[in-house]
Amino acid sequence: MSIRLRLSAVFTLAAIVIVGIGGYLYLGQLRQGLQNSIDQNLQTRAAAIAADLQTGAAALPDRTSGLGQLYRASGQLLDSTGPLRGDRLLTAAQIRAVAGGADLHLDSSITVRAPDESGTQTVRILATRGPGDEVIVVALERDLIDDAVHQATVKLVILGAVVIALAGPGSWLLARAALRPVERMRAQVARLDAAGAAEGVAVPRTRDEIARLGSTFNALLGRLHAALRREQAFVADAGHELRTPLTVLKGELQLAQRPGRSAEELRATVGIAAEETERLIRLTESLLVLARDSRPVLTRIDLADLTFAAAGGLAARAAESGVSVQVEADEAPAVDADPDRIRQVLDNLIANAIRHAPRGSTVTVRPGIDGPDAVVSVADRGPGFPPEFLPVAFERFTRADDARTRAVDSSTGSGLGLAIVAAIMDQHGGSATAADRPGGGAVVTVRWPRLAPADKDGGAGPPR
């Protein structure tokens, strides 16, 4: 069932309930109001009869209208209006109760005998004690109440039927008009393809929930389109990067197949093929790291110890380049992190700094704590980054155009090293920044929350 039909059904049902409850309450109030009016009239008539009896009268006055009777407290009927002709309006027990001082209001069916008004009538009766031992009884027909309520009921039924008959189609038309922008957006989305996703859908100018839905949907389409463009560029760049070592590998193997190749030449060919194969392996591993979107396995680690271990692992490479690596850790901060991924970040940054640091210089690594964050900075005295490269330094397959060209990734030169660093920091809920140092050189800083959210809330947190 469509939303329009559901809304129409709900509105129609609501109209039926509202008309029913409203009509019931209205008829009840009408009946009560008319009955109060009759009771007031009866009290006025009874008071007039009591005033006449106070002056010494022993019977109902001739001006008494409607139905009336006069009793003694003993139950003796003293007088009665003509149409009643002796029929009693009250029983002996009721007369005794009124004589005791309690007024009586009741509805009763009586038989009236009159030339023009014979038959059974429903009357409203008031019985009250007179000035002596009399009991005054007056009554009025309830036909006025019943007729008025009946006429009001008929009118309410007709009006309710009209309202209910209009509620269904009217609510359907209103729902159709309200949902027309949604249907228009649905049709536009159905016509969108990958290339046109950035255009989005037309947002109505109503500034209501539907307009906000359209704006939110356009923002989502924009993000999806941007992600698609990034993935397309990633695939294209990855294909380009993989093609280069594969082309070299293919050429070397074709050379090896030529006749007359010496053992020395074959060994050189095999060596080049092995290097390109290793390069392919490293590039594939880097691509897998970027493609992986799993949550890091957090544990409590000593950041200083992990930094010293990373620097020690690259000591041989630093010695070959004539560079020293110095770790400056004033304290041994305990942080929550995935040790394998943080070690990969440190290896990438330190190896990259060693590659660009001039001979005889020092690469400085500083692990520490900055407020709620764990921070590691790696600085060198190399050529630094070109200003135009800094905004895109952490994007995939980006390379600087100066002396740091093809050196963002310390092992493959593919432009994935800093992208891997940024991806791992994003998985930890942190960030990575790159900047040039005053006086020459570059510094790359990574930071992430020092403690896991559960630890901040007083939970157990990751195990130590």
Residue 270 maps to which CATH number?
1.10.287.130
- Whether 374 contacts 446, CB under 8 Å: no
Residue type, 220: L
The CA–CA distances, whole Å, from 323 to 213, 354, 380 equal: 57, 7, 10
423-427 contact pairs (CB < 8 A, 24+) = 423/289, 423/290, 424/289, 424/296, 424/338, 424/341, 424/342, 424/344, 424/345, 425/345, 427/293, 427/294, 427/295, 427/296, 427/338, 427/341
Cα-Cα end-to-end distance for the chain = 56
Q: Are residues 379 and 325 in the same domain?
A: yes
360 sits in the region (left: phi over 0; alpha: psi -120 to 50; else beta) called: left
Indicate whether 304 belongs to any domain.
yes
Q: Are residues 338 and 442 in the same domain?
A: yes
3 state SS of 259? coil
Residue 174 backbone dihedrals phi, psi, to 5 degrees: -65, -45
Indicate whether 44 belongs to any domain.
yes
* Closest C-alpha among 165, 171, 163, 166 to residue 3: 171
pLDDT of residue 240: 63
Written as six digits, the tokens of 67 are: 């139905």
Indicate whether 253 belongs to any domain.
yes
* Beta bridge pairs of residue 134: 72
What angle do helix axes 143-191 and 209-257 make, rounded to 10 degrees? 20
Residue 376 CA to residue 344 CA, distance in Å, equals 13
Indicate whether 32 belongs to any domain.
yes
pLDDT of residue 197: 65
Q: Are residues 395 and 417 in the same domain?
A: yes
- In sequence order, which residues have a C-beta less than 8 Å from that of residue 211 and are 6 or more positions away? 181, 203, 204, 205
- Whether 163 contacts 15, CB under 8 Å: yes
Residue 134 CA to residue 453 CA, distance in Å, equals 90
Can you give the residue range of the structural domain that contains 28? 3-147
CA angle 393, 398, 399 (to 5 degrees): 90
Residue type, 418: L
Q: Are residues 218 and 306 in the same domain?
A: no
Strands 334-337 and 299-302: antiparallel
Q: Are residues 284 and 306 in the same domain?
A: no
Q: How many domains does the chain have?
A: 3
Point out the domain boundary residue: 147, 172, 192. Answer: 147
Q: pLDDT digits over 7-58, tens only?
A: 888 888 888 999 899 999 999 999 899 888 888 988 888 888 888 888 877 6
Q: Are residues 390 and 346 in the same domain?
A: yes
Residue 105 backbone dihedrals phi, psi, to 5 degrees: -115, 130
Written as six digits, the tokens of 35 are: 């009955």
Q: Are residues 133 and 21 in the same domain?
A: yes
pLDDT of residue 463: 44
Look at the block and give the residue holding tokens 């022993």. 58
- Dihedral (CA of 271, 274, 276, 279) sign: negative
pLDDT < 50 positions in the chain: 401-412, 455-464
Give rounded-to-5 percent helix, strand, coil for the chain: 50, 15, 30
* Beta bridge pairs of residue 136: 70, 128
3 state SS of 233? helix
Q: Are residues 306 and 451 in the same domain?
A: yes
- Whether 355 contacts 321, CB under 8 Å: yes
